[in-house]
Structure 1
């Protein structure tokens, strides 16, 4: 169960929302929306009757049409000479089969190609492009106009034609199209220069001039937007009637040409139900998780999955099923589709408990009925993630809503609630299933679980991590009351200055902890000026002396507030400011107080009660332009400001560095928050208060000695279990985050066995990557350009530090 304070805040948030008072979250989001596309079963076949052909007699009418029908797609014919330019909307692809280079309106045809691609419909050229010349004037069209079409496909047309086979060579570049010995320049006698312009272009057959310097020509290629098979490269006869004359496998080409093709080969395909609130929430969660893993997404609505084909799924790194059920009308079809994909080496992540029998069978859950389990807490097992083995989050923090699961023996359970598996991986044919069996796992406090599930779906992948340990001390320095505290046997002034601060000194000495102190100058409740002087009262000298000691010990110092009222005109858990002028006066007073007490302007701001609204943000940066870091919460409630780790896209030079957990005890909700941060981005961002001992809820009713011991034990546990996390000064973390976003590493999948990680040149910042390898391949991993710092072969994960601009990761041949 959540704490009483949590439920009070949650209840209050509901009232604020209903009354329209809750402030808009001013923090930007890291999430990148998935590209939603609508697949179709229909293909539009174009021919030109002015060439002396008809619907029944043209280059597409024989083997091409036969093969496309065998692929389960529908054909629709259109004569461009008689019917003019068609409308491509609603089709999977437009396929052309022209014999000559002339067309009545070639410029309009180039516009048609461009618009077709822009509308998300693939454009496939088989044979001649058909619009190099204007049939009305016999003049050749300007290359700039022709390239409006070819640039949309990812290449550029450069002419450079020859029919002399001695002047060029033909090289098959993709064995999947089963090239035959007849694929030679002597049999083709046809060369045009098509230069690759985009990374998504995959050349299947390459031609290259031998007599003049030139780049390879993409004679046969596929891209994210279309494909081309240049004249004579498939067959010496133009009508393409006789399969025996083909130089390579037509069906293999058409599967790649007609398949939905993402821009990047690391893209995951998300299947979701737009009519389901849970499914839409799952999609939003995945969009955020993918931004941390740097994994691109495409999405298809559940109502459109009937138009997906197996060869579509083959182009994706994996599939994410973002629903707990499947539509009755085509649940069987969907099961067969995913079954074939898994058996042939695909990977599928199921984000929620599988309510349908068909889905449970795919997750290898042998239970015939969907029965809910009564689980309590969450225990992580061997192989879940680096350092998690044996950690348990208690039932006070989580009671998962899971289904009973009886798994096949080959499955590896990674987490369970009571005795019920809630996270597992299973081999499935040549592929792999990753299943999340609790509805709570699509919520923000489990974002890290989603991040790592997406990484699992990639198979072999590397994502950037921060590898940080950050420590915030909120409300410190704070006004002293000089009040005697009976359980402590001393005044609060003595406790803060000696006992509490002494604990931080020990944490620094024993574990290298680096703290940023966030002063609050008053505990009054004023929301309009005049505001109190810093540490006003009889204990001011004692607090100032404490502040000087913190500075002498060379700690980072930021700002918490003039007082402990959240800077907002609406929302939060306390009273709001009366207007924008009052907010600005509050921040100006805080700025002046920092200069008076510490001598320097603040660089870091933590909003009181972890809440600030849009108006507060505006006032903050107007009155304290020196602020470079704003820190609230990574997973907050509706009355708290939730942040992602990121640079602000609108406020140049400002970073959002939220906190992931709080308190003295690495248990319950704090442990869950810690795990979430480490799994999301390799970060522990932690805060405490000096007066937590005075709060029965935050102290959990324990003595100071128990709290101190637990705090230091938490530091030790993190150091031992997660040695790759580095204690960081907050401003060093700021600079690293800035460099990571501007010039940081990117993972490029060059094959199933090889990864390349590249960063910008001339960058001296340390960058860290989390590398995931397929199960059983950990010992085969060869790394160059980076140093392996930590490895866990059970979870198939490695942490590396880059020391070169380009690093390589090789796991050898996959079975």
Structure 2
């Protein structure tokens, strides 16, 4: 029983998440055209030694099974958050007392927890399931833990931590792209989190979309019952603010499309070593590309003019100022000619 849930809904916490919260999240996804990636924790225990890992309760597995299958039905994917919520770090790596976490004894114990998660996931969702993405608990991760992850999860290729963070306190804050120490991994950090709406946060969020062309947002189910993360607001209030947040992104970036993390990775790989050269002659821009593989999207700013047509693919104006226009191009050929309109045709 949780007081926040009890006061608003007069039901148990478990019933609230099954009957209210998850259904509301699916309704928002349908209304706002979202796809969720769900990151699984098998049990909230402090077992950081192999011999302390006990069998997980049947009621926990039932809930995970149902929620996971509903996630799949709505086009989502399952990733890894952890066997438990203890970050993959050892004694001395972080201030465990301040964060109320427990250090892992060894890589072997970490591996045992990872194997427990994999065993339960395959038991619930079948042996063919692939786990591509890892979100570190509390965004804390060190190199030894990362190497152990790769060794025990062969399909893993993405770490989704945070873009902003204090590495001195153990935060795994990363740039976007291929990992420097383990090249098979890619870093796709999240730019924002939470259910509440804050105007200042929208500025950072829009900057990230403008620079990197994608947006990831992370929420914890228990944000609703956390005093600091809920901003002392009810779920009814938070639900409205979350919808407002998504709606504002949608209104300013209507061309964004819903995508799961593993597909985002493939799109990035498609363009990670792409080289683009361009030359403007009269009213045409000639573009040539090296390492072109498959069609991709890019944005282009045209100053004091507009695009009349392109030799292949499609284009769409997505932003307009007094002296320039920004276009979204779907590039379908490594050689592209952009024809500009005459200046006197401009409005």
Aligned to 2:316: 789
What is the root-mean-square deviation of aligned Cα atoms in Å? 2.9
**Are positions 1:675 and 2:206 aligned together?**
yes
Deviation per CA, 1:65-116, whole angstroms, max 9, x where unpaired?
Answer: xxxxxxxxxxxxxxxxxxxxxxxxxxxxxxxxxxxxxxxxxxxxxxxxxxxx
Unpaired segments ≥5 residues, structure 2: none
Of Structure 1 and Structure 2, the greater helix share is in 2
Q: Find 1:767's aligned residue among 296, 313, 323.
A: 296
Deviation per CA, 1:259-313, whole angstroms, max 9, x where unpaired?
Answer: xxxxxxxxxxxxxxxxxxxxxxxxxxxxxxxxxxxxxxxxxxxxxxxxxxxxxxx
Alignment of 1:692-711 (within 5 A): 692-711=223-242
User: Partners in 2 of 1:674 and 1:768 — Cα distance?
Assistant: 20
CA shift at 1:520, angstroms? Answer: 0.9
- Contact 1:748–1:755 (8 Å) recurs in 2: yes
Deviation per CA, 1:38-81, whole angstroms, max 9, x where unpaired?
Answer: xxxxxxxxxxxxxxxxxxxxxxxxxxxxxxxxxxxxxxxxxxxx
- Contact 1:591–1:623 (8 Å) recurs in 2: no
SS at match of 1:758: strand
Alignment of 1:532-543 (within 5 A): 532-533=53-54, 535-536=56-57, 539-543=60-64
**Are positions 1:510 and 2:15 aligned together?**
no
Q: Find 2:13's aligned residue among 492, 497, 502.
A: 492
- Normalising by structure 1, report the TM-score: 0.38
Aligned to 1:181: none
Paired residues, what number? Answer: 329
Aligned to 1:598: 125
User: Partners in 1 of 2:70 and 2:341 — Cα distance?
Assistant: 57
User: Partners in 2 of 1:524 and 1:620 — Cα distance?
Assistant: 19
Aligned to 1:578: 105
- Contact 2:196–2:231 (8 Å) recurs in 1: no
User: Partners in 1 of 2:290 and 2:18 — Cα distance?
Assistant: 46
- Contact 2:275–2:289 (8 Å) recurs in 1: yes
Aligned to 1:712: 243
Unpaired segments ≥5 residues, structure 1: 1-481
User: Partners in 2 of 1:752 and 1:491 — Cα distance?
Assistant: 69
**Are positions 1:619 and 2:139 aligned together?**
no
Deviation per CA, 1:785-815, whole angstroms, max 9, x where unpaired?
Answer: 342223323154222221322222355899x
User: Partners in 1 of 2:261 and 2:300 — Cα distance?
Assistant: 26
User: Partners in 1 of 2:248 and 2:46 — Cα distance?
Assistant: 39
CA shift at 1:717, angstroms? Answer: 1.9
Q: Which has the larger radius of gyration?
A: 1
Alignment of 1:80-91 (within 5 A): none
Relative distance call for 1:571 and 1:749 in structure 2 (3 A) is: farther
- Contact 2:283–2:339 (8 Å) recurs in 1: yes
CA shift at 1:649, angstroms? Answer: 5.2
Relative distance call for 1:544 and 1:803 in structure 2 (3 A) is: closer
Relative distance call for 1:616 and 1:792 in structure 2 (3 A) is: same
User: Partners in 2 of 1:756 and 1:636 — Cα distance?
Assistant: 41
Aligned to 1:801: 330
**Are positions 1:501 and 2:22 aligned together?**
yes
Alignment of 1:397-412 (within 5 A): none
SS at match of 2:50: coil
Relative distance call for 1:799 and 1:551 in structure 2 (3 A) is: closer
Deviation per CA, 1:382-405, whole angstroms, max 9, x where unpaired?
Answer: xxxxxxxxxxxxxxxxxxxxxxxx
Q: Find 2:41's aligned residue among 520, 526, 532.
A: 520
- Normalising by structure 2, report the TM-score: 0.83
Q: Find 2:258's aligned residue among 705, 727, 731.
A: 727
SS at match of 1:684: coil
User: Partners in 2 of 1:583 and 1:749 — Cα distance?
Assistant: 54
Deviation per CA, 1:445-493, whole angstroms, max 9, x where unpaired?
Answer: xxxxxxxxxxxxxxxxxxxxxxxxxxxxxxxxxxxxx667323322111
Comparing 491-500 with 778-787, which one deviates more in the overlay?
Answer: 778-787
- Contact 1:778–1:793 (8 Å) recurs in 2: no
- Contact 1:534–1:593 (8 Å) recurs in 2: no
